Chains A and B, each alone.
Chain A
Amino acid sequence: MKNRLPGKIRWIAGLCSVFIALSLIAASCSAAVTSTSTTTTTTTTTPTSTLTTTTTTPTTTTTTTTTGPFTTPPPTTTTNPAATTVLTVVNGNTSQNYTVEQLQALETTAAYGTTKSGTTITGPNDYIGVKFTTLLKASGGMTSSEALTITAQNGSTEDLSYAQIYQGTVNTYTLTGSTAAAGQQPLFMVIYSMNGNPLDAKTGPVETGIMTENDRASDASLWLPMTTQITIHPATRTVTDSTGAVVIIPWTVNRIADAWHANNEIVMLLGGGSKLVATTTVVQGLPWFIKLDPAITTIPAPFTSTAGQVNMEMLIATNPDVLLCSAGSFTAATMAQFAAANIPVVQMPAATFADLQTTVNITAQVIGPQALPIAANYISYLNGNIQTVSSVTSAIPAAQRPTVLHTSQYVVLSTDGSGSLIDAWINYAGGVDVASATVSGNQKAITAEQIAAWNPSIIIVGTAPNAANVQSILSDPQWSSTTAVKNKAVYANPTGVYLWDRYSAEEALQILWSAKLLWPTKFANIDIVQETKNFYSTFFHYQLTDADVAAILAGNGPPS
């Protein structure tokens, strides 16, 4: 050992010198980068810069000083655009309206702008407009803890951060489309003139654009034609989740990761389906989900069927604004990893119908104000159905209630007992869950003997392949002594976008379906086919055919 020591020391010394050399190289590189950026910053003020921002405070109102290479005649418009408000800047409770004339009265800027959409480069064009920074200053300014939402005439919106406006942190490209090195700071501007003419009806009267050097282009997706409003608001907001945690999420949530299978449906129902950027492998295997939202199979699925498992790199790569999950599904260690990756986690409860409402409400809050009325609408529909059904069934004495077994019997024979959503809807529907007295919780394995002893009068089969399971129960001698099998009262549970029987938004339909199944005469007025069609049309904006509904009610995928 002793004589090896010098060798070891040599190794360590060698490694250290390599490390020192590497860090020296790295340090000199970063110094070089810093010095480059410093020089470019200084060039912004020098006239050699190609981003020619000629700032003028015009005394005349209509003449434009820039003449571009394209000399098209000014469009003849019947209305005078200068007379109407074209832009509103909202900051808290105050708002400031601008006509084109008023915009021109501000400090205006003439500069080049070029867009890149895919591989298509448009420009450079000569633009005149007002810098965002100027507009914001006129409305009381913006702090680094605030952000902007700009709205277009057609309702589409775009979110801009403080850094994008004040530091120009956006990607720029060369005119051949490759990513450009950092150049001059790109400027966000409200444009009212292009190449000497007012904007046409497709982009104007004013447009949000990014001014760059004449050999640089910016992403067309960051330009917003027909801009009508700029709203200054805090950069973040808070949502209180079911664990009581006050979670800070971006003001506008655009990218949702959802680790909870059933909650993906609720996000879709609340109009946030297009915001999903990460889902679970299970959701990507749900036939009706795919039918209604084919894009779900194209987004990454960092979550698997095993609760609490996550592919952290895959999740981080999707850059989510927020992660939704059912309460307690991740360990403290995993939660710490989410926190380290700056991914806010919103947890929601899963056990009861009250929990379902809480989950819908929290999910809606996360998605944004536009989801709140949908959530209210859904919850009133859900409670309405509970009310409709229980107002009739609550009068039925316990002795008259049919005994119901809800089971899945694929390899493992299981049922759900007290405290489960399944137990709850069996009670609403006017039945008695045979398992509730002795079994508690979800999906507990039970014996065939116990089922024979319970002797249910109605059996509902809740696991795919539902229809095949119904047949196997009806033909199995082990089940033959039960009243349900003798009367052929064995039914497949419907399965839509998600399972109707557990955790999903379609529990609202399950209540009606099960009530009618148990008490057909008392609920003769319920047309479950029409209810299903209405539900899908109202909440999923999807028109089901009769064949579709039949497949859902039988627990099958979409008919091909």
Chain B
Amino acid sequence: MSKKKIILLIAIPLIVFYVSLFVGRYSADPWTVLRILLSKVFPITHNWSSTAEVIVIQIRLPRAILAMFVGAGLSISGAAYQGMFRNPLVSPDILGVSAAAGFGATLAILLSANIWELQLVAFAFGVLGVTLTYFIARIYKTTPTLMLVLAGVVVAAFFGALVAGAKLIADPVSKLPAITYWLLGSFNRATYKSLYTVVPIIILGSIGLQLVSWRLNVLSMGDDEARSMGVKTESLKFFIIACTTLITASAVSVSGIVGWVGLVIPHVGRMIVGPNHRWLLPTSMALGAVFLLVVDDIARTATPLDIPIGILTGLIGAPFFAYLLRRTKGGWK
């Protein structure tokens, strides 16, 4: 890991972040944006419209921060899972967190819950879904990865069926569009209030994963090898699952289901810094943050409509993943 790469991985997200604040349907020049931001800290005369201030401070800033944290969180979760499962096709929702959180959100919408209750219920169901998966997969105090994957498929299928059923009875004018839209993911409802709950969880979870990154390297060689090297594989797996679940569930609860980021970004990270998790995890975070922020900028700028983020990540992520599969010839380096 060269110093140049480290500087770039810090600088690029910051530049994209700043650019995001003056890109949008409402034109605000970079200088005004800078002064609006500084005016929150230093006394500067307000010579801009209140609309510009609301758009930069209340709409773009929380939205950009949220997109970055969700992108970072999903990417580090994906990288950790791909190492733990020793499988490049694993994404953060392999254990059913997205499907379960999706059902939680659907339920909240059907019950006309407000946006905070919705976030809470989605988070709770996401955690519940993974808990179910974990206990279904647990045999004789061990959790073989194959059992985890299969149990995840079971839980995801179950909650997916519940969502499909709920959509059948939802009101087509108010509830159904809300459910459909939520399931495709969007940062449109990003507010500071949502940041206060989501950002700390994602930071804590990421620190947790970073702390076990070298054990993750050992684990990625296989359970038996890891055990022979003195790693307590079961408690390590539990810790990794707990961290990624908290990250993913909180990300999904506020942004809806954003696919492909957690699957594709770790591969890009591995191309840049190699498979050592100590560097792969933070690199994935930086790349994920930039990727999702750019995608969200497109989503809110390309048309007056708010394009669901899940559509764009799929449109960009799927062809890219196909390219990667061709390039690596299905191999896992």
Contacts and interface: CB of A to CB of B under 8 A. Distances in A.
B25 A411 contact: no
Given A305-B167, A449-B26, A453-B25, A463 B174 contact: yes
B114 A449 contact: no
A444 interface: yes
A502 B174 CA distance: 12
A179 interface: no
Interface in B216-262: none
Contact of B178 (A307, A410, A448): A410
Contacts of A285: 171
Given A445-B186, A447-B300, A472 B172 contact: no
A54 interface: no
Contacts of A309: 168
Contacts of B50: 480-481
B252 to A, nearest CB: 14
Nearest to B178: A411
A446 interface: yes
Interface string B302-333: 00111110000000000000000000000000
Interface in B38-81: 49-51, 53-55, 58-60
A331 interface: no
B58 A447 contact: no
Given A444-B305, A447-B188, A452 B182 contact: no
A449 B167 contact: no
A304 B178 contact: no
Nearest to B50: A481
Given A448-B188, A449-B300, A305 B169 contact: yes
A282 interface: yes
A443 interface: yes
A304 B182 CA distance: 20
A214 to B, nearest CB: 52
A440 to B, nearest CB: 10
B173 interface: yes
Contacts of B24: 449
Given A306-B176, A499-B173, A445 B181 contact: yes
Contact of B169 (A281, A411, A449, A468): A281
Contacts of A414: 177
A410 B174 contact: yes
Interface string A309-332: 100000000000000000000000
A472 B109 CA distance: 16
B34 interface: no
A67 interface: no
B259 to A, nearest CB: 18
Nearest to B192: A477
A478 B118 contact: no
Interface in B162-193: 167-179, 181-182, 186, 188-189, 191
Nearest to A307: B172
A481 B181 contact: no
A450 B304 contact: yes
A480 to B, nearest CB: 6
Contact of B306 (A413, A468, A477, A499): A413
Given A463-B174, A477-B58, A452 B168 contact: no
| Interface bracket on B | 35 or more
Contacts of B172: 261, 282, 305-307
B115 interface: yes
Contact of B59 (A261, A304, A449): A449
A464 B175 CA distance: 9
Interface string A195-215: 000000000000000000000
A412 interface: yes
A123 interface: no
Given A411-B115, A413-B188, A413-B306, A478 B168 contact: no
Contacts of A455: 51
Contacts of A234: none
B168 A306 contact: yes
A472 B114 contact: yes
Contacts of A464: 112, 171, 174
Nearest to A465: B112
A450 B25 contact: yes
A410 B182 CA distance: 10
Contacts of B181: 411-412, 445
Nearest to A448: B59
B54 A481 contact: yes
A435 B25 CA distance: 13
A326 B200 CA distance: 49
A20 to B, nearest CB: 43
Nearest to B57: A477
Interface string A465-482: 100100010001110110
A445 B114 contact: no
Nearest to B26: A453
Nearest to B181: A412
B59 A411 contact: no
A439 interface: yes
A438 B178 contact: no
A410 B186 CA distance: 13
A305 B305 contact: no
A408 interface: yes
A499 B172 CA distance: 12
Contacts of B114: 468, 472
Contact of B109 (A304, A411, A446): A411
Interface string B11-52: 000000000000011100000000000000000000001110
Contact of A478 (B109, B169, B177, B191): B191
Contact of A480 (B58, B115, B176, B304): B58
A411 B189 CA distance: 7
Contacts of B60: 449
B55 A408 contact: no
A265 to B, nearest CB: 13
Given A449-B59, A477-B58, 19 more contacts: A306-B167, A306-B168, A411-B115, A411-B179, A411-B182, A412-B186, A413-B189, A435-B304, A443-B173, A449-B25, A449-B26, A452-B54, A453-B26, A453-B51, A465-B112, A478-B58, A480-B58, A481-B50, A481-B54
5 contacts: A305-B172, A445-B186, A447-B188, A452-B54, A481-B49
Complex A-B, nearest 7 residue pairs according to Cβ-Cβ distance, in ascending order = A481-B54, A411-B178, A412-B181, A453-B26, A463-B174, A438-B304, A305-B172
Interface of B: 24-26, 49-51, 53-55, 58-60, 109, 112, 114-115, 118, 167-179, 181-182, 186, 188-189, 191, 300, 304-308
Interface of A: 261, 281-282, 285, 304-307, 309, 408, 410-414, 435, 438-439, 443-450, 452-453, 455, 463-465, 468, 472, 476-478, 480-481, 499, 502
